[in-house]
Amino acid sequence: MLKEIYIPGIPDVKMRPRATKKGHVYDPNAQAKEASIQKAILILGPSGPFTGALEVTYKFVFPRPNNHYRTGKNSHILRDDAPLFCTVSKDLDNMEKFYADSFNSIHYLDDRQIVRHYSSEKRWAFADEVPHVRMVIEALEPEKETMITR
């Protein structure tokens, strides 16, 4: 069983917990996680959370910087040497952690259920493509054992 989620916007990263001067520890990602949950669009699959082992694939698409485009009247055309993959931005593993944590109790009970993630990708947007995150979650166990209803 598959579930596909589309989250428009520039991908976020997982930040380490912070502490105040008085020693209170807080999650600096709390607002960003909530915003991602609100923007997320379920394209395919059931609305309830999975309960068994999962495989997750991520695609992170970033907006291209202006220096990837030609200048002058051709400023809308990509340069021939414009790279496909985004190597200068956020760490792939930190983005995976952020989105895995964000969807706890929504698309799966806990991100500990993720036992495999293949072919995660971080790249620049194509022509008129909007920056986004696409998650594909696949249950690795039979549907009747892995789904619960809300």
Dist. CA 24–CA 104, nearest whole Å = 23
Report field, pTM of the whole predicted structure over 0.85:
no
Note whether residue 20 is domain-resident: no
Task: Tell me the residue range of the domain where 77 lies.
Answer: 2-15+26-146
By CB atoms closer than 10 A (0-12, 13-18, 19+), residue 142 is: exposed
Query: For residue 72, what is the domain's CATH number?
Result: 3.30.1330
Note whether residue 46 is domain-resident: yes
Helix 92-102 vs helix 30-39: crossing angle, to nearest 10 = 70
Pairing label, strands 114-116, 54-62 = parallel
Instruction: Tell me, rounded to whole angstroms, the distance of Cα 112 from its chain centroid.
Output: 16
What does each of the 150 residues of the chain score in pLDDT, given as a tens digit? 899 999 999 998 877 777 778 887 777 677 788 888 888 999 999 888 999 999 999 999 999 998 898 899 988 888 889 898 999 878 899 899 999 999 999 999 999 999 998 779 999 998 889 999 999 999 998 655 445 554
